[in-house]
Amino acid sequence: MKQSAKTSSLGLWSQRLFAAILLGGQVVVHLLRGRIHRRNTQEQMIVVGPDSLMIVLVTAAFIGMVFTIQVSREFIRLGAGSAVGGVLAIALARELAPLISAIILAGRVGSGFAAEIGTMQVTEQIDALYML
């Protein structure tokens, strides 16, 4: 990679980092000033929480079933069939369930937010906000 390409990618990265820090600072300032729209915030919390619960539970259950089948086959093949239940309970509860839930939730919520922003872009709501 050429030096100019490294410099330009570093410059772009630092600009994006600065923009993210600026956005975070604006969020903190608005929260401290009490300038939040409670109704909009509650609507977004419902989308992120209860509305996502069913898809997370169903997807995580199926992933857990497949994981259980694969692990139990290998444990039985290795002669450790009696340890399957305990190992799977610990592995699923401590490691796999939180990770899978977070990935599914991030995917669902992220795609929903992206679709909402895309709709706003098509209807020129984003341009109207820039004009303010």
Do 86 and 54 sit in the same domain of this protein?
yes
Do 52 and 23 sit in the same domain of this protein?
no
Do 114 and 127 sit in the same domain of this protein?
yes
- In this prediction, residue 112 carries a pLDDT of 86
> Would the pTM of this model clear 0.85, i.e. be above it?
no
- Reduce the DSSP state of residue 35 to 3 states and report it: coil
Per-residue buried b or exposed e for 15-43, using 16+ beta carbons within 10 Å of the residue's own CB: eeeeeeeeeeeeeeeeeeeeeeeeeeeee
- In this prediction, residue 132 carries a pLDDT of 65
Residue type, 66: V
- In this prediction, residue 58 carries a pLDDT of 92
pLDDT, one tens digit for every residue, the chain (132 residues): 555 555 577 788 889 999 999 999 988 888 888 877 888 888 888 888 888 889 889 998 999 899 889 989 998 999 888 888 888 888 888 888 889 889 998 998 889 889 988 888 888 887 777 776
Domain with 25, as residue range(s), is: 1-36
Do 48 and 25 sit in the same domain of this protein?
no
